Structure 1
Amino acid sequence: MQLVVGRIGRAHGIKGEVTVEVRTDEPELRLAPGAVLATDPASTGPLTIESGRVHSGRLLLRFEGVRDRTGAEALRNTLLIADVDPDELPEEEDEYYDHQLMDLDVVTADGTEVGRITEISHLPTQDLFIVERPDGSEVMIPFVSEIVSEIDLEEQRAVITPPPGLIDDRAEIASTRDAEAES
């Protein structure tokens, strides 16, 4: 199985280093020197990491064969893709790989169907489940313990306790608000 583990940003300096937007919880494993990564677009890879370091809170990588700023700039916006054994599990108990969460059914604590996870968006402050509802619409659910109370991989479901308004239709919210205003 292949997972996107980073995106190459701008060149850093004149010796071929690039900034990398990390998209993995395990950069020390996936983005370590010696790692060979596939790329998207495929024409730029595979790339082998020669060295890496953190500078001003950003990960900087140098790839074998990339020796100058021009070569580094040519890699900008390239996605870095690692091969991962589908049976491999994260080290921490409450951690999951994206492929484990994709296609899980999302239900509320009382069993009400919400939809199915079709995408996971990794934002700087939190991750979001993009959930396709039965009617084809989408809802974004923050992947935080206050909302996602359980991930059950055996049952292939995520149980959520959404705050008011998170998954409610606008019409339902408006009618509730109108009813409250009339009382």
Structure 2
Amino acid sequence: MNVVVIGRIAKAHGIRGELAVDVRTDSPGERFKIGAAVTTKLRDGSKRELTIAAAREHSGRLLVRFEEVLTRDVAETLRGALLLADTDTLPPTSDPDEFYDHELAGLRAELVDGTVVGKVVEIVHSPAGELLELDVDGREVLVPFVYAIVPTVDVAGGRVVLDPPEGLLDA
């Protein structure tokens, strides 16, 4: 089973076990619907299955209640956990310019002239926008995931093409 991160638990909310979740999916209505099962990956690496009991939007986050989490004390133990879903259950994207994060991880990163500079490690979601985390000669390099810098994403060809400004990929 291949999994994709659909959210990250930020903190407990209230006294009844509700959790504030930073959403990492374009289809939260589907992923966080009542009765849906999600896998949590805790900070210690352990995993646990939970069932969605309720979900609602609140201040840019999703407040989620799980059937198995009934108190704030239990909710606090989940702080920082990743929420995972099976990639096989994701609906196909109809827009050629839309990609799931897991589809980009591992792609070859090359310049417009074809020079290979590294590979995509993951997509970093920040308040300022998405970033491609690249492994460039063993170094972590963050590249803004915008058309001006990443003009081509070729999932089938296994590559992303970069047109970075001078110095962006330098040590």
TM-score (norm 1): 0.81
Structure with more of its chain in strand, by fraction = 2
What is residue 26 of structure 2 aligned with on the other side?
A: 25
- In 1, the alpha carbon distance for the partners of 2:89 and 2:160 equals 20
Q: 3-state DSSP class of the match of 1:66?
A: coil
Larger relative CO (CA 8 A, sep 6+): 1 or 2?
2
What is residue 69 of structure 1 aligned with on the other side?
A: 72
Query: Structure 1 segments of 4 or more deviating over 6 A?
Result: none
What is residue 58 of structure 2 aligned with on the other side?
A: 55
- The change in CA–CA distance for 1:111 and 1:8 in structure 2 (over 3 A counts) is same
CA RMSD of aligned residues (A): 2.1
Structure 1 unmatched runs, 5+: 171-183
- The change in CA–CA distance for 1:151 and 1:23 in structure 2 (over 3 A counts) is same
Query: Is the CA contact 1:44–1:75 (under 8 Å) kept in the aligned structure 2?
Result: no
Structure 2 unmatched runs, 5+: none
Return the match for 1:152 from 149, 154, 162.
154
Residue by residue, what CA displacement relative to the aligned partner does 1:7-59 show, whole Å, maximum 9, x if unpaired? 21222122221111112222222222221011113756200001100123321
The aligned amino acid for 1:144 is V
Q: 3-state DSSP class of the match of 1:46?
A: strand
- In 2, the alpha carbon distance for the partners of 1:151 and 1:12 equals 38
Q: Percent identity?
A: 47
What is residue 105 of structure 1 aligned with on the other side?
A: 108
Following superposition, the deviation at residue 68 of structure 1 comes to: 2.5
- In 1, the alpha carbon distance for the partners of 2:163 and 2:119 equals 15
- In 1, the alpha carbon distance for the partners of 2:147 and 2:21 equals 28
The aligned amino acid for 1:128 is L
Residue by residue, what CA displacement relative to the aligned partner does 1:117-148 show, whole Å, maximum 9, x if unpaired? 12222212222212222x33332211111111
